[in-house]
């Protein structure tokens, strides 16, 4: 489960190759994703930003094996994904509908572990820790519908953390929480990421958040979707809500991402493979210094 520090940085943990997804609907075909190719190294934390409707959720569903891509493939540790992989957890965008309303908060978090046959004592520990981490240890006996939207989303996050996945996919998980909780949860994600050494792909529409959280930001174009740009975030590894955000480099990066998204919205396609002039290095060039 924990990555072995003695091992050389393994090649791609998650690999998306030429992914294309066309939805067949009554009203004709909808090409949600045209052609996406990127790799995530083991232990990488990447953010995915893109305009609404650019196929972020679609991409996540293909990666998590819930939906078969029309073309291309997804590889997890070199193996082709054809169904939900064991060691992957997903936090869905529709948080309110992703919790079991007939189970109490604690049972919701516990169910995946119980189903895997994790022994009782360990299960209790993991669940307690996860609820504690998201600041919900005071409501284990409530039902999800008795909680506010932000609290429900935190239960979904706790469930994912307790599961101890190797790969964690999150689809705009902080959309429903207030600014303060959001900042806390951002730091929580980074803490968990460092502690467990997991690979995280984090979808967000918040540019600041993507720069603050990620080691790398992947920007999607508008539909039909390709990768607009893939940039490394060369901020210090210790991130602090106030300090990091006031760094000149932070501002530079968020300007850059912002510009790219504006371009994407206007429908500007990325130039074939040119390196951007604004300064940030393409992710492929840097890299080995993370994790």
Binding site for another protein (CB under 8 A): 61, 64-66, 84, 86, 88-90, 92, 94, 97-103, 111-112, 115-116, 143, 145-146, 159, 163
Residue of 176, 180, 181 whose CA lies nearest to 144: 176
Between 123 and 162, how does the x/- string for binding to ligand ATP read (CB under 6 A)? ----------------------------------------
- Would you call 288 helix, strand, or coil by DSSP? coil
Given candidates 57, 77, 142, 281, which one binds Mg ion under the rule CB under 5 A? 57
CB of 91 to ligand ATP, least distance (A): 13
Q: Which is nearer to another protein, 111 or 183 (CB)?
A: 111
Applying the rule CB under 5 A, the residues between 82 and 121 that interact with Mg ion are: 93
Q: Is 206 in the site for Mg ion (CB under 5 A)?
A: no
The option from ligand ATP, Mg ion, another protein, none interacting with 223 (CB < 5 to 8 A, set by class) reads ligand ATP
Q: Is 77 in the site for Mg ion (CB under 5 A)?
A: no
CB of 59 to ligand ATP, least distance (A): 7
The option from another protein, ligand ATP, Mg ion, none interacting with 192 (CB < 5 to 8 A, set by class) reads none
- Would you call 178 helix, strand, or coil by DSSP? coil
CA separation for the pair 110, 52 (Å, rounded): 33
Angle at 233 between CA 264 and CA 226, to 5 degrees: 30
Q: Which is nearer to ligand ATP, 30 or 290 (CB)?
A: 30
Q: Which is nearer to ligand ATP, 59 or 131 (CB)?
A: 59
Examine residue 127 and say whether the peptide bond preceding it is cis (omega within 30 degrees of 0). Answer: no
Rg (C-alpha) for the chain, rounded Å, is 19
Residue nearest to Mg ion (CB): 57
Q: Which is nearer to Mg ion, 51 or 144 (CB)?
A: 51
The option from Mg ion, ligand ATP, another protein, none interacting with 86 (CB < 5 to 8 A, set by class) reads another protein
CA separation for the pair 71, 78 (Å, rounded): 18
Q: 128: part of which helix (H) or strand (E)?
A: helix 120-133
Place of tokens 């060039």: 285
3-state secondary structure 34-89: EEEEEEECCCCEEEEECCCCCCHHHHHHHHCCCCCCCEEEEEECCEECCCCCCCEE
Part in contact with ligand ATP (CB under 6 A); list of ranges 11-19, 52-60, 134-142, 226-234: 52-60
Largest Cα–Cα separation, the chain = 55
Residue of 157, 224, 219 whose CA lies nearest to 192: 157
Q: Which is nearer to ligand ATP, 54 or 108 (CB)?
A: 54
Q: Which residues bind ligand ATP (CB under 6 A)?
A: 23, 25, 30, 32, 50, 52-58, 93, 205, 223
């Amino acid at each position: 489960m924990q990555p072995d520090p003695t091992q050389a940085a393994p090649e791609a943990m998650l690999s998306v190759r030429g992914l294309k997804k066309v939805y067949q609907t009554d009203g004709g075909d909808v090409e949600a994703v045209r052609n996406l190719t990127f790799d995530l190294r083991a232990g990488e934390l990447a953010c995915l930003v893109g305009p609404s409707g650019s196929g972020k959720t679609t991409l996540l569903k293909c990666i998590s094996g819930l939906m078969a891509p029309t073309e291309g493939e997804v590889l997890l540790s070199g193996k082709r994904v054809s169904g939900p992989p064991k060691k992957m957890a997903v936090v869905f965008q529709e948080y309110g509908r992703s919790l079991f309303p007939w189970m109490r908060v604690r049972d919701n978090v516990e169910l995946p572990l119980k189903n895997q046959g994790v022994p009782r004592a360990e299960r209790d520990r993991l669940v307690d820790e996860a609820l504690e981490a998201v600041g919900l240890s005071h409501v284990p006996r409530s039902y999800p519908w008795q909680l506010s939207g932000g609290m429900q989303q935190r239960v979904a996050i706790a469930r994912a953390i307790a599961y101890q996945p190797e790969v964690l996919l999150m689809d705009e998980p902080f959309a429903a929480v207030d600014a303060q909780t959001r900042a806390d949860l951002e730091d929580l994600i980074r803490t968990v990421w460092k502690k467990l050494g997991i690979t995280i792909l984090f979808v967000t529409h918040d540019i600041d958040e993507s720069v603050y959280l990620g080691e790398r930001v992947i920007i999607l174009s508008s539909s039909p979707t390709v990768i607009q740009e893939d940039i490394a975030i060369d901020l210090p590894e210790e991130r602090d809500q106030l300090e990091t955000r006031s760094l000149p480099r932070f501002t530079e990066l968020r300007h850059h991402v912002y510009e790219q998204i504006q371009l994407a919205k206007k429908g500007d396609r990325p130039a074939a493979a040119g390196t951007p002039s604004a300064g940030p290095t393409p992710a492929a060039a840097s890299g080995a210094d993370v994790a």
